[in-house]
Structure 1
Amino acid sequence: MAGTSGGRPGLSPTLLYKDAKAAVRQLTEAFGFTELAVYEGEDGKVAHAELEQGGGVVMLGSKGTGSAFDRVMEGAGPAGVYVVVDDVDAHHRRAVKQGAEILMPPRDQDYGGRDYLARDLEGNVWSFGTYVPGTGG
């Protein structure tokens, strides 16, 4: 994989959520991520979590922990994250079945690939598609 060190992803989006536990549930149940790790603080908030999808990893945690990252992200808006999947239509059906908010149903793109858009419980926009960035297709 280009841009990796020892086969690991070289880029990982990092998101903070008011309810990180609900985010982990939605990302695993509706969007098919695999939970790699979830570390909770003594207060029960998610200090750090790692979820995998298709060889990439997203890291997330709870807002309000007081960590340096939490402080600099205060007031930050939602983010957009693109995830490569093998079967867009099956992935979309799973998300719909789990009640995810669909912003755009699956469609073929002029630049190649097929994708759809969904919004998570806290406003982040997730794109799931077959286009592989950096490969021309």
Structure 2
Amino acid sequence: MSGRIERRVPGLIYADVAAAQTFLIEVFGLAAGPLHRGDDGTVTHAEVAAGDGVIWLHPESARFNLRSPRTVGADTAGLSIMVNDVNAHYAHVRDAGAVIVYGPADMPYGVREFGARDLEDRLWSFMSPMD
């Protein structure tokens, strides 16, 4: 192989990218990144950050056969995000109105974790290492 992999950049598909970006920032506490629009005003790309990692948000596309979980009626991908205090983060996400799938629980793989759905039904998990 010529070259090396430097980092991963997950991409998530949404029917409404602008609304998804706002939800991920306000409800899940991710950091705002850029939001790009085409000449016609349609959102073409947006970003949020989780710690030192970036997550790309893209609109649905017939050309590339990309659909949001809400459109296909099933989860198409999920992300797990490390936070410094999972219980406090859970309280924020719950109080902000997200659909909670499972509350904070100690997992056998060494983290305390909860799961919540975003505004287009994608499952996200948030966790902290257990002490």
Shorter-chain TM-score bucket reads 0.7 to 0.9
The percentage of counterpart residues that share the same residue type is 36
User: Take 2:5 and 2:113, find their aligned partners in 1: how far apart are those partners?
Assistant: 25
User: Take 2:18 and 2:54, find their aligned partners in 1: how far apart are those partners?
Assistant: 17
Q: What is the CA-CA distance between 1:43 and the residue it aligns to? A: 3.1
User: Take 2:125 and 2:25, find their aligned partners in 1: how far apart are those partners?
Assistant: 15
Q: Show CA shifts across 1:53-97 (max 9, x none).
A: 121211002224x6x5xx232576532111111111111111112
Q: TM-score, normalised by structure 1?
A: 0.79
Q: 2:10 aligns with which of 13, 36, 61?
A: 13
Contact residue 80 and residue 124 of structure 2 kept, 8 A: yes
Shift in CA distance, 25/14, structure 1 to aligned 2, threshold 3 Å: same
Contact residue 44 and residue 58 of structure 2 kept, 8 A: yes
Q: What is the CA-CA distance between 1:4 and the residue it aligns to? A: 6.9
Match status 1:36 vs 2:29: no
In the alignment, structure 1 segments of 5+ residues that lack a partner are 132-136
Name the Cα RMSD after superposition: 2.2
In the alignment, structure 2 segments of 5+ residues that lack a partner are none
Q: 1:101 is matched by which residue type in structure 2?
A: V
Q: 1:24 corresponds to which residue? A: 21
Q: How many residues align?
A: 122
